[in-house]
Amino acid sequence: MCGIFFSLSTNGSVLPNEETCTLLRNRGPDSFQVHTVQRSLAPGHSVHSPAPNIVLTFVSTVLSLRGDRIHSQPFVDPTTQSVLCWNGEAWKIAGEPVQDNDTELIFQSFLHAIKPCSGQELSRTSTERDEKGAVRRIADVISNITGPFSFVFYDAVNSKLYFSRDCLGRRSLLRGLDEAGNLRICSICDSSSSTHFDEVDTNGVHMIDFEQNILQNALGPGPIKFNLESIQTLPWEHKEPSLSYLQTQRNPIPQMNKSIPDGTPPPLTVDSPCVQELEQALRESLQLRIQNVPEPPSTTSGDVKVSVLFSGGLDCTLLARLSHDVLSKDETIDLLNVAFENPRVAAAAANKGEATLSVYESCPDRMTGRAAFAELQRVCPDRNWRFVAIDIPYAQTIAHRDMVKRLMRPHNTEMDLSIACALYFASRAKGTALDSRGNSIEPRQYTSSARVLLSGLGADELFAGYARHGVAFARDGFRGLIDEIHLDVSRLGKRNLGRDDRILSNCGREPRYPYLDEDFVSYVLRAPVWEKCGFGVPDLPEGTTTDQTGIDSEKKALRLLALKLGMSHVAREKKRAIQFGSRTAKMEKGRTKGTDALS
């Protein structure tokens, strides 16, 4: 995980202010570096003034999780003066797993892509052709990356700047203009500017050509300001890339299988081939994300490497269970479970005489979390599971609310705040810990040292886990169900992953999403819908020995996998939104809706 800041100015170097630098360091506490580049615009840009200098400022912070040492950024090539700020995890390049530091490999791939043609001095025509080839080769490099990323890359050879997020939007990157017209690109909203920041679109890789007219008023007098409309986009496409100058990129996510069953599909069971294939695909995705995680900085709490954002629900508990099969048995896995004091809910319970448990232990996610913790102990007794109960008093929620709102910007609704609060306090990982093994049975104060946070996000969209999926099937059958899933998957990159990344990364931890691995998503999308959920699929005949009673149709393949792995209780757990499970929603009295904008 890294923090990125970039600015483009004609009025000297533009740096982030102190607050933004602090937030960037929170994301990447292992390294902080600044690099500036000065260059002149093409001659003749203006008839009224000489060609001005433009200044490119790059700032990078680093959370080191790949390789055997810290690789400080920005990366600068001494030969070409090209620059890379990279915030991502390239798990594979061109289908080959990346064993060492991925940033170095990506940078070398970019440098190779922009390398000029060999031979004698190039003619103007051949130079233009090679620039087009460089754009094509850059697009090819990016298309071959498997993993989450955002980046800013300056191609000093061909005078171009590239910036992007991956097509699923798993890493944050925002852009905006300040009052002086300077372009800023940053992992978080840069508070030194009151100008609105927008999420960088996930529709492709964005390119600025410094040899083109990229500045407003470039042909007239007055201050020079950047023109956002001059940014070109290399879009993701499912078809083969074109040969035009404005290149396209191969989309790593395939089109969804929209086939309708011919008749009634066969029943789904724990022994169905699709459940076995699902287990293998999810295990492979998980292995990339939790194997070879480096030791965290020395702490007094023990060097736990991997933690799970743990509500006790199906998706996160499956990740915990499969992590047990991947990691060495001597590694503790932290289960981070957050519960909030909600004064509105507490008052209602007191009025009804129902306050038998504490405000924290009565939270739905706390109860399911403890039940899933017990089931993991039963199924995997040779693993030390550490249940971290993170209790957040109402006063503490209020004290941190401005910081949460600051981090989630430009998102600004009541629902954003409810979800972000839960993620923010869970990622701080401060609570009372109870180990499943060892002599102590008393909870103790604890802060997890794990820098990797596993999240179950994406499972609901891929496997029809929302109530509206059932509504769509009831209304329009398989066609309606397929259309609803397709809508969910197609807008993943435009939803809330950037917000979640800004929140979860603020404590120097990196969220990882096994359900959103490109290869896993591709496998699920190619499968017919009746192999993912149970809508329209008949129950097993009477007398079948496998107990599948009470297994819901939503995410049925995942539920059967949990049953296969011995977790019968988790397999039957109902879907619950994080803001209701942790009780961050509707803390104050009033008639607010989730879509209401914050004041």
For position 273, what pLDDT does the model report?
96
Query: Does residue 239 carry a pLDDT above 70?
Result: no
Burial of 410 (0-12, 13-18, 19+ CB in 10 A): middle
CB of 167 closer than 8 Å to CB of 178: no
**How far, rounded to the nearest angstrom, does the alpha carbon of residue 128 sit from its chain's CA centroid?**
37
Q: How many CA atoms lie within 13 A of 501 on its CB side?
A: 33
Q: Which of 95-109, 223-237, 433-447 has the largest mean confidence? A: 95-109
CB of 363 closer than 8 Å to CB of 339: yes
Query: Does residue 116 carry a pLDDT above 50?
Result: yes
CB of 5 closer than 8 Å to CB of 33: no
Structure tokens that stand for 114 in this block: 């922009």
Segment among 66-70, 502-506, 527-531 with least mean pLDDT: 66-70
Domains and CATH numbers, the chain: 2-235 (3.60.20.10), 304-539+547-582 (3.40.50.620)
Strand order in the sheet with 174-177: 31-40, 53-62, 2-9, 183-186, 174-177, 198-199
Closest CA to 329 of 396, 268, 380: 380
167: how many CB neighbours lie within 10 A of its CB?
A: 21
CB of 394 closer than 8 Å to CB of 343: yes
> Rg of the chain's alpha carbons, rounded to an integer?
25
Query: Does residue 210 carry a pLDDT above 90?
Result: no
**How far, rounded to the nearest angstrom, does the alpha carbon of residue 463 sit from its chain's CA centroid?**
19
For residue 148, is the peptide bond before it cis, meaning its omega torsion is within 30 degrees of 0?
no
Please, which pLDDT band fits residue 213 given cuts at 50, 70 and 90?
low
CB of 58 closer than 8 Å to CB of 6: yes
Mean pLDDT for 385-395 is 96
277: how many CB neighbours lie within 10 A of its CB?
A: 14
d(CA 460, CA 559): 12
Q: What does residue 139 show for φ and ψ, rounded to 5 degrees?
A: -60, -40
Segment among 113-122, 349-358, 391-400 with least mean pLDDT: 113-122
> For the chain, how far is it from start to end, CA to CA, in angstroms?
31
Can you tell me whether residue 397 is helix, strand or coil? helix
d(CA 172, CA 88): 10
Q: Convert the pLDDT of each residue in 157-175 to its tens digit.
A: 999 999 999 999 999 999 9
Q: Say whether 117 is catalytic.
A: no
237: how many CB neighbours lie within 10 A of its CB?
A: 15
For position 121, what pLDDT does the model report?
45
d(CA 468, CA 466): 5
Segment among 130-134, 336-340, 432-436, 500-504 with least mean pLDDT: 130-134
**Element of type H or E holding 467:** helix 467-490
| Residue in this structure with the two tokens 């011919």, named with its chain if needed | 262
For residue 410, is the peptide bond before it cis, meaning its omega torsion is within 30 degrees of 0?
yes
Structure tokens that stand for 580 in this block: 């209701």
Query: Does residue 147 carry a pLDDT above 90?
Result: yes
Closest CA to 310 of 299, 301, 319, 297: 319
Closest CA to 103 of 60, 71, 138, 78: 71
Q: Convert the pLDDT of each residue in 46-83 to its tens digit.
A: 445 566 688 999 999 999 998 888 999 999 999 999 99
Please, which pLDDT band fits residue 456 given cuts at 50, 70 and 90?
very high
The better pLDDT of the pair 361, 590 is held by 361
Q: What does residue 355 show for φ and ψ, rounded to 5 degrees?
A: -80, 65
Query: Does residue 461 carry a pLDDT above 50?
Result: yes
| Residue in this structure with the two tokens 């043609």, named with its chain if needed | 117
Q: Convert the pLDDT of each residue in 403-448 to its tens digit.
A: 999 999 999 899 999 999 999 999 999 999 999 987 667 889 999 9
